[in-house]
Structure 1
Amino acid sequence: MDIETLSARLDALESRAAIDRLISAYSNAFDRIDARLLKDIWHLDASLDLPGFGTATGRDGILAMAENSWRQMPHMHHWMANPLIEIAGDSATGTVAADCLFHDIDKGPVQVSGLYHDRFERRAGKWAFVSRRFELHFLTPLNDWQPIAGVESSTTLPPEPRQG
């Protein structure tokens, strides 16, 4: 194997690891109410489209939308699965299945499932989201659902967002 082939294979592996981290960081940022982590995964001109929950353009708009979501849904738990990522040089696209359990202060406990459609770019050596769009498959109120153990409950106040 020549050095060029080895270099291309290493770049593909490092790119995939960076993109996998972005997908995980998105979930962790929303679930832990971590504005600093959320800010770090978007390019300045990125967009986030969550039909039924909001749409934002630009990193600052995405952070503002997240802060509104955290006030409305102080408890979120995302699970991302089955990422299908296609990398072409400094650009990539992907789809990721998602389930999210959250407590909406108006609707109560709700489960949301769907598919994220993502675009990523590597700029100045850093991979970040260019766009993320959610395709809602279902939103299911969990009537009479009440946690009976754990560090979170529907009555605990959410922590303040961590600023970056």
Structure 2
Amino acid sequence: MGAEELRDIADERLIRRLLAAYVDAVNRGAWAEFGELFLPEAVVEVVRGPGLPADAATGPDGVAAMVSGFAGRFDFLVQALLNARVELRDGGDPDRASARVTIGEYRRLSASGRFVHSAGTYHDRYERRGGRWRFAGRRYERTYVSEA
């Protein structure tokens, strides 16, 4: 195995650790940790359904405020990483990558006690800066929602 293949294995593993760190921070409500996960100029968009406007935020603090606002409606929230297809060397640049990431969410609305289950896909961009991979951008598109 050559040096480039070893670097690819390490880079994909580090990006998957970044994804796990994000899901873990969301599940614990550890919004301050977003500063370690997102680049200062990272833009995150959330599309909750066809025909609905996208919500957007920029930078770790903006993203944390947006996501914590969504999470604040629930007294129970668990996000699960279901699959990730990581593409390294985005545009031929060894310090850029992208991925399509599928997640599931399991929540209970605080106001009504009803359960909400959903699934969706993140379309991610990552950049390596200072030797660390971080989110450069995310676009979440919800593909399924069910309330009980």
TM interval, short-chain normalised: 0.7 to 0.9
Matched, 1:28 2:24: yes
In the alignment, the residues of structure 1 paired with residue 30 and residue 8 of structure 2 have an alpha-carbon distance, to the nearest angstrom, of 29
**Alignment: residue pair count:** 138
What is the CA distance between 1:113 and its match in structure 2?
0.8
Deviation at 1:104, TM superposition (A): 2.5
Instruction: Tell me by how many angstroms 1:28 deviates.
Output: 0.8
Match of 1:112 among 118, 125, 142: 118
In structure 1, which of residues 137, 148, 151 is the aligned counterpart of residue 143 of structure 2? 137
Aligned to 2:42: 46
Q: Distance in 2 between matches of 1:106 and 1:130?
A: 34
Q: Please list every run of 5 or more consecutive structure 1 residues that lacks an aligned counterpart in the other structure.
A: 143-164
Q: Distance in 1 between matches of 2:73 and 2:83?
A: 28
Which has the larger displacement, 93-102 or 62-71? Answer: 62-71
Could you tell me the TM-score, scaled by structure 2's length? 0.84
Is there any run of 5+ residues in structure 2 with no aligned partner, and where?
Answer: 49-53
Asked if 1 retains the 8 angstrom alpha-carbon contact of 2:44 and 2:139, the reply is yes
Q: Work out the CA distance in 1 between the residues paired with 2:40 and 2:84.
A: 24
Identity percentage over the alignment? 27
**Against the structure 1 CA distance between its residues 73 and 54, is the aligned structure 2 distance closer, same or farther, given a 3 Å change threshold?**
farther
* Mapped partners of 1:82, 1:32: distance in 2: 21
The residue that corresponds to 2:33 in the other structure is 37
Deviation at 1:48, TM superposition (A): 1.4
Cα distance, 1:54–1:73 mapped onto 2, change above 3 Å: farther
DSSP-derived class of the 1:65 partner: helix
Q: Does 2:114 align with 1:102?
A: no
Shift of 1:111: 0.4
Match of 1:75 in 2: 76
Structure 1 residue 85 displacement after superposition: 0.5
- 1:16 CA drift (Å): 0.7
Larger Rg: 1
Which is richer in strand? 2
Q: Residue 74 of structure 1 aligns to a residue in which SS?
A: strand
TM (normalized to structure 1)?
Answer: 0.76
